[in-house]
Structure 1
Amino acid sequence: MYQYKLIDEYLYIDHEVPFLEKYNSSSNIDIATDICIELMVNPFICYGINVITCAKDELILKNREGILMVNKLYGNGRLYADKEEDASPLIMLFLYSHLIPKQTLLFHSSLVDFSGSGIMFLGPSGIGKTTQAELWNKYLGADILNGDMVFTRKNEDGFYGYGSPWHGSSPYYKNAKVKLKALVVLEQAGENTLKRLEGFDVLQGIMEQVFLPHWYPEAMDTCLNTLDLLLEEVPVYHLACRPDEDAVLLLKQELGL
């Protein structure tokens, strides 16, 4: 049994999973958890048909890489995949589904840690999330925790952003967390301008970048309530910018860093 620590939770998988290597904490295994996956690599095939058993209280989720069978609380599951790396998307879905009731959200975003202040850069693919993170690293020495997929979670002293093993085409991911200072919605522009979003503009700016659990309708209200709490505690900005140092300094000054 292999133990991995992600988003302050322990996940147990009965196979070693290479893409989770940075998150391995198997030196101190204590299987007192309700998050456990039985990973069935190369499932039994009979006459070209995958043979899979399913209990009556299980849910089945399938993509091109595998099949995930879980209980209705997303606590324990079996994952069928040809290779360990094929299990990655379904492990993410399994973990996120389990964490939503624990005030956790998942965003299409990069995340940097600048002297203990976390800044998330949100936007669709190609908008410059990784680029802005790299600029903060280049000019200010900020640590890049993730370049594409960021979990947020409410802790006792506020919301934190977490690096995760899911990072899209970006090479950046770290097993670390940082208290959030700001969410920044990006737009490419010829001039650098920054404004704080208020009211409906906040939702309009970030809704397309948060992963809502449409596959798990029972958790939708919890997800939206957590989003409301996040937006009450963490300011949201719109940064129209060039990929240059001035954009970095403009945001740094506004945040008082």
Structure 2
Amino acid sequence: MKGDLEGVLPLEFEELGAAHCSRFRIGGVSVEVAGDRDSDVALVPSLLPFRVEAGVSDINIQVKWADSLTPRAGRQLFDSGTTWRVYEDEAGFQFDFNSPVFGKRPYKRLHVDKRFRQAALHMSEESFAGFPNVAEPLEYPLDELLIMHRLTQEQAVELHSCGIVSSDGTGNLFVGHSGAGKSTTTRLWTSLEDVEILSDDRIIVRREHGEIVMYGTPWHGEAAFASPASAPLSRIFILEHGLGNTPVRLSPSQAVAELFARSFVPFHRHEYVNSALEFLQDVVNVVPCYRYTFEPDERAVERILNFHD
């Protein structure tokens, strides 16, 4: 699709019949991307471990090119202050992505329906004219924004956390803000044999086949662990630096508040917030949640390995 995309465009989603196609799956959400160029559907390196060959897609994206993309004038829901803004119209949502490198016009625009199932991703020929090898339609943060919003339609939420599966299959989730010790915790656990690290920074928790499961994501932290694997969630620990390596059980209401404060939820719609809170309540009703004050050495790991609810 060529031309200058101005103002509000009606969402027009086509069958994925383009010449090229790729698929990936994050946190139980399957995405299919179609385009006329091989580069349109190329997965960025962080997504390659999450690639899948076939299956039913939860989200379908059609990649198209326009001569240019005019800045949107309309009801803005949220401005990240740096790289993206989101708008809403009767058909769905529009995400505009900007960079000082490309000037004031958006260099790509994602139109998506209200349930985050069908999407059209428009790339600007004008923006990439001087950078022919730079265009990456699926680059961060588009991938995370799309998945994060799709989770609002399911029993799932993304948490600022590291997920670690011990040798006996116990799935421990360590939740914390930046600087709370997620990467440190991850490094401490890697000294053990038969331990699987799903992620050192962002985990998707969801209900699947009647149980609460945690999934790794591509959006890693300093320790750079990012796995597409999943595991049943056994315990949740809210990380805090301190003395004693002491886990203290939280009440359900305390646990929901702590988890929500460390979640990635689109706050621009109250129903998304309510959905996340309801799901987190379901989680803490079946998975024990603790505040874990820990010291950054191997004793912190031993305390969890020998801990019993």
Normalised-by-shorter TM-score class:
0.7 to 0.9
Question: What is the CA deviation profile of residues 53-108 of structure 1, one whole-angstrom value per residue up to 9, with x for unaligned ones?
Answer: x9961311234464321111111112345632763212222122223222011100
Residue 45 of structure 1 corresponds to 68
Question: What is the CA deviation profile of residues 164-219 of structure 1, one whole-angstrom value per residue up to 9, with x for unaligned ones?
Answer: 11114441001100000111111111432221112443234322111222134333
Deviation at 1:141, TM superposition (A): 4.0
1:183 aligned residue (236, 242, 246): 236
- Tell me, in whole angstroms, the C-alpha distance in 2 between the residues paired with 1:22 and 1:154: 23
- Aligned residue identity for 2:158: L
1:25 lines up with 2:52 in the alignment: yes
- Aligned residue identity for 1:213: P
- Tell me, in whole angstroms, the C-alpha distance in 1 between the residues paired with 2:151 and 2:113: 14
Residue 87 of structure 1 corresponds to 139
- Tell me, in whole angstroms, the C-alpha distance in 1 between the residues paired with 2:57 and 2:198: 26
- Tell me, in whole angstroms, the C-alpha distance in 2 between the residues paired with 1:36 and 1:105: 20
- Aligned residue identity for 1:73: R
Residue 124 of structure 1 corresponds to 177
- Tell me, in whole angstroms, the C-alpha distance in 1 between the residues paired with 2:136 and 2:28: 23
- Tell me, in whole angstroms, the C-alpha distance in 1 between the residues paired with 2:181 and 2:63: 35
Residue 202 of structure 2 corresponds to 149
After TM superposition, what 4+ stretches of structure 1 lie above 6 angstroms from structure 2?
A: none
After alignment, is 106-115 or 182-191 more displaced?
Answer: 182-191
- Aligned residue identity for 1:57: A
The normalised TM-score by structure 2 is 0.72
5 Å-filtered alignment, 1:80-119, equals 80=122, 83-84=135-136, 87-115=139-167, 116-119=169-172
5 Å-filtered alignment, 1:1-257, equals 1-14=21-34, 15-18=41-44, 19-26=46-53, 29-30=54-55, 32-40=56-64, 43-45=66-68, 49=70, 57-64=91-98, 66-80=108-122, 83-84=135-136, 87-115=139-167, 116-139=169-192, 141-255=194-308
- Tell me, in whole angstroms, the C-alpha distance in 2 between the residues paired with 1:37 and 1:168: 27
- Tell me, in whole angstroms, the C-alpha distance in 2 between the residues paired with 1:6 and 1:223: 18
Question: What is the CA deviation profile of residues 204-238 of structure 1, one whole-angstrom value per residue up to 9, with x for unaligned ones?
Answer: 43221112221343333222211110010111111
- Tell me, in whole angstroms, the C-alpha distance in 2 between the residues paired with 1:96 and 1:240: 29
Conserved 8 A contact 1:44-1:50: no
Conserved 8 A contact 2:200-2:221: yes
- Tell me, in whole angstroms, the C-alpha distance in 2 between the residues paired with 1:72 and 1:248: 43
Deviation at 1:157, TM superposition (A): 3.8
Q: Which has the larger radius of gyration?
A: 2
Q: Do the aligned partners of residues 140 and 242 (structure 1) sit closer, same or farther apart at CA in structure 2, a change above 3 Å counting? A: farther
Conserved 8 A contact 2:256-2:277: no
Q: Do the aligned partners of residues 130 and 13 (structure 1) sit closer, same or farther apart at CA in structure 2, a change above 3 Å counting? A: same
Conserved 8 A contact 2:252-2:281: no
The normalised TM-score by structure 1 is 0.86
How many residue pairs match? The answer is 248
Percent identical across equivalent pairs? 24
Conserved 8 A contact 2:43-2:138: no
Q: Could you list the runs of 5+ residues in structure 2 that have no partner in the other structure?
A: 1-20, 35-40, 73-87, 100-107, 129-134
Q: Could you list the runs of 5+ residues in structure 1 that have no partner in the other structure?
A: none
- Aligned residue identity for 1:221: N
Aligned residue for 1:87, secondary structure, equals coil
More helix by share: 1
Conserved 8 A contact 1:190-1:242: yes
